[in-house]
A and B are shown apart, each in its own frame.
Chain A
Amino acid sequence: MRRYFARKVAIYLLTFFVAVTLNWLIPRFMPGDPVLRMLTRTSVSNPDAIAPMREYYNNVFGLDVPLWRQYLNYWAELLQGNMGISVWLFPAPVTEVILDAVPYTLALLIPSILLSWYAGNKVGALAARRKWLDNTVLPLGYALTATPYMWIAIVLAWSLAIIAGVFPVAGGYSFDLQPSWSLVFFNSLIQHWFLPFLSLFLVAFGGWAIGMRNMIIYELEADYANYLEALGAPRRLIRRYAFRNALLPQLTGLALQLGVLVAGALVTEIVFGYPGLGRLILMAIQNQDFFLLQGAFLFIVIGVLIANFVIDIVYVLVDPRTRTGMTGGAA
């Protein structure tokens, strides 16, 4: 058991190292120069001032040393929790900018991923044994998973926000409010949160429901189910076993989905103008903000790694077959 986890941790550390390195490399492969961009933004009129200003900014962002030094510096600062200064929101530190955005993204992603997984599995399992549910949920599920995500998001924004006017169209909270611990602000948060959440939930829900329905039907045909039926076990017991066994592939799917959905949230946040990480990534790319981009990517990498690690542990708990690999088998 300990060896298994030691190996897992080593693999995750290696993955982290490679991811951080790539993360540092990618913005530097982008065409363009962030410092030049800052200079044009400030529109300096005096040509003599440009050279010293450029030198100053290069020094601030640590771009005046050779590349290999920049890389080592990056690691050194990273381990102290410093991710540099944002170009776009100069002179705000990247850590601060990201920490402001993270709660929005997490509040959007975690409920939508987990709730859609839970509801999709439940409804899919029900659909596997009720004909009328099978005939309604399944086509709906196929339609939902097949539609392009941004289209669903736009249709929701248009129908529920613009036409019906039930929900606000964009933003994380009402534009006439400042973030505070008041009931009014909280209410506004929930209202703005609902549409992006619904769009993510709907799209993921269909896929989970279809997957679960098929897995349950497969499990109910399995040998152990037939044997239990021949021994007169009640349907309830057999379905409980089938549900649990059908859940295993769904768990793997969940782990994969957690990684993919961060990208999904990028589109969501752009469509709904939601102030989360996804929007930060877009702004960072548009402004050639190396440091913000690195920070946002780093956060995603950490999120995916943690999610996978948790699923790894959950898998060991729920599927005894993964455990035999760690002990070498008893028989």
Chain B
Amino acid sequence: MVFLDLLISTLTQGFIYALLSYGVFITYKILDFPDLTVDGSFPLGAAITAVLLVNGMDPYLVLLISAAVGALAGLATGFIHVRLGVRDLLAGIITMTALFSVNLQIAGSNLAVERAIDTIFTAKPVMVILGPMSLMMRKFIVTLVLALLVKLLLDLYLKTKSGLLLRAVGDNSTLVTTLAKDKGTMKILGLVIANGLVALCGSVVCQEQRAFASTMGTGQVVFGLATVIIGTTLFRRFSFVKGTTAVLVGSVFYKICIQVAISLGLPANLLKLVMAVLFLAVLILGEKKKGGAKYA
């Protein structure tokens, strides 16, 4: 049973972080924009969530508000890059750095959400449907539903005219200009959606852990990029698999890898090092398939 428990909680982690992966999928894969805002917008979602939950707000409403505030972080990066002409990487770093202080202002360096406070896993609507189940199973099902629901919405959006134009911006921005559309506005829109999703992920993580820590954003970009690259590399040969499905699987796969490493006795302090090495391995393997290193 210990194994089964471990599997369920690992899958749950995979589903939660898939929300972040969707966000990185939009910026990195669709827009071709390496967005470092993520390391700041992820804890931003968590900080907002912790403070609002402590103040007694409905946990589901908190999810939406966190996503909306995260979207503003994306707007900031987009504005700095597109309208002020700062390079993509630097624009993200600027917002990320600023957000670290913002998060400290919102929630301090640490903030715990007490047991008595309801989260999306313990509030009434969930209890009515999933009441008899254990907390672990409830978390599993709620996060699964959330991951699938967001995936579905994102898939639908990418099929709309606006979604098609967003994909075109990353694919060939010159064409978007000749279609009489401002590619900059579309880039900003992509960053807004992506960071909204990332903050949503931060919110769910905070509700699941019942805690906010100012340092929880560190390495989230790397995680997101790794899952996107793992997912899209795994399904490269299967063109019928949607990108969102691929990164969902990538996220779960990644969390399983980390869990296996921990189970084998990896000290927690080495976790980020292992993440970095794993990311490097994925990048190299991905490039190998394309025909070797590019920068010689």
**Is the A/B pair a real complex?**
no
A: residues with CB less than 8 A from B are none
B: residues with CB less than 8 A from A are none
